[in-house]
Amino acid sequence: MSDCIFCKIITGEISSLKVYENEDVLAILDIAPVNHGHTLIFPKKHFANLEEIPKEDLAELMKVVKKIGKAMKYGMGKHGYNIQVNNDSVAGQVIPHLHFHVIPRSEDDGLELWPQGKYEGEEEIEDVLKMIKRRL
């Protein structure tokens, strides 16, 4: 896709700080990291979101996500890491090219997860469950 920043990084039109690359996947440092080492991992083929990517390509992508997470944890001496994908603009996806964020975490980094809510009873839970299940 000609306007896509990640596609331009893949072709070399835009420079990046490559963490890892193979024939299918590229991993780069995020230039605006949540924590140092925050890495963006994306397929070299353009897929706008998670629904578009074939399962075989997703499997290859996830192998790299796992590899990068493990390298952060043990190479950087971190306690763990978050894996996040923002799927579509309403969920915070800024670049419409599927990508995973892998964010190294330490006990004292100060980051918090989003607030949790609750259902207003069994009927609401059942309604939500039905809406999801009817599309599976």
Q: What is the pLDDT of residue 1?
A: 64
Q: What is the pLDDT of residue 113?
A: 85
Domains of the chain are: 5-133 (3.30.428.10)
Prediction pTM value: 0.92
Catalytic residue among 38, 97, 99, 101: 99
- Residue pLDDT tens, the chain, 136 long: 679 999 999 999 999 999 999 999 999 999 999 999 999 999 999 999 999 999 999 999 999 999 999 999 999 999 999 999 999 999 999 999 999 999 999 999 999 888 899 999 999 999 999 999 999 9
Rounded Cα–Cα distance for residues 71 and 64 (Å): 10
Please confirm, yes or no, whether 36 is among the known catalytic residues: no
Q: What is the pLDDT of residue 27?
A: 98
